[in-house]
Amino acid sequence: MDRYLEFILNHYILSLALAVVTFLLIQELIDTAFKKFGAISPLLAVAKMNDSDTIVIDVREPDEFLKSHIENSINTPLGDLATTHLSKLEANKNKPILIACQTGTRSASAGKILSKAGFEQVFVITGGMQAWENDYKLPIKSENKQKNKPASKLG
């Protein structure tokens, strides 16, 4: 025991770092154990969208949403979700709700907000739109309309 104490005193920065990392890991385990929303892969999200009356919420900013989004998804920026858009979604508390963002980080925050508000079936799409578009190559809708360019004449 004396050697542990000696190590801690001689390497206080390492010991502090170990304590912080341990605390963060325990906090993450507790958050994961008590979260009331689930994670779902993009492929399972498509299956859920096809099987039931599912609502897809995209919590990215409007400019990100316009570049590409899941068809029939509702753009509700994360900053506005709790204040203005939550009341509009109130009628859908019993329906499955899929949440998407760019990488899956903002979706977890939105999942917490919706779960605390009493929504029963909340699912976060893992990997977000990056996984949807790049990894799984699933269809997207884009508001950026490309103009048809005339084909160049071959001489």
Residues 131 and 56 in one domain: yes
Q: Which residue has the tokens 């994961």?
A: 32
Residue 123 inside a domain? The answer is yes
Query: Tokens at residue 148, please?
Result: 């048809």
Residues 6 and 62 in one domain: no
- Category of 128 on φ-ψ map: left (φ > 0), alpha (ψ -120 to 50) or beta: left
What integer pLDDT is reported at residue 152 of this predicted model? 41
Q: Which residue has the tokens 């509702």?
A: 74
What integer pLDDT is reported at residue 153 of this predicted model? 39
Residues 61 and 120 in one domain: yes
Q: Alpha carbon of 51 to those of 47, 93, 95, 128: distances in Å? A: 6, 18, 12, 21
- Find out whether 54 and 74 touch, Cβ atoms under 8 Å: no
- Split at pLDDT 50, 70, 90, the class of 150 is very low
Residue 154 clears pLDDT 90, i.e. is over it: no
87 phi, psi to nearest 5 deg: -65, -30
Residues 24 and 40 in one domain: no
Residue 151 clears pLDDT 70, i.e. is over it: no
Percent helix, strand, coil in the chain, to 5, is 55, 15, 35
The parent domain of residue 14 ranges over 2-31
pLDDT digits (tens, 9 = 90+) for 11-40: 999 999 999 999 999 998 888 788 889 999
What integer pLDDT is reported at residue 144 of this predicted model? 63
pLDDT digits (tens, 9 = 90+) for 53-76: 999 999 999 999 999 999 999 999
What integer pLDDT is reported at residue 76 of this predicted model? 95
Residue 89 inside a domain? The answer is yes
Residues 26 and 97 in one domain: no
Number of structural domains (the chain) is 2
Residues 79 and 17 in one domain: no
Q: Enumerate the β-bridge partners of residue 69.
A: 141
Nearest alpha-carbon partner for 20 in 28, 9, 31: 28
Cα 56 to Cα 45: distance, rounded to the nearest angstrom: 9
| Active site positions, annotated | 101
Residues 18 and 81 in one domain: no
pLDDT digits (tens, 9 = 90+) for 88-141: 999 999 999 999 999 999 999 999 999 999 999 999 999 999 999 999 999 999
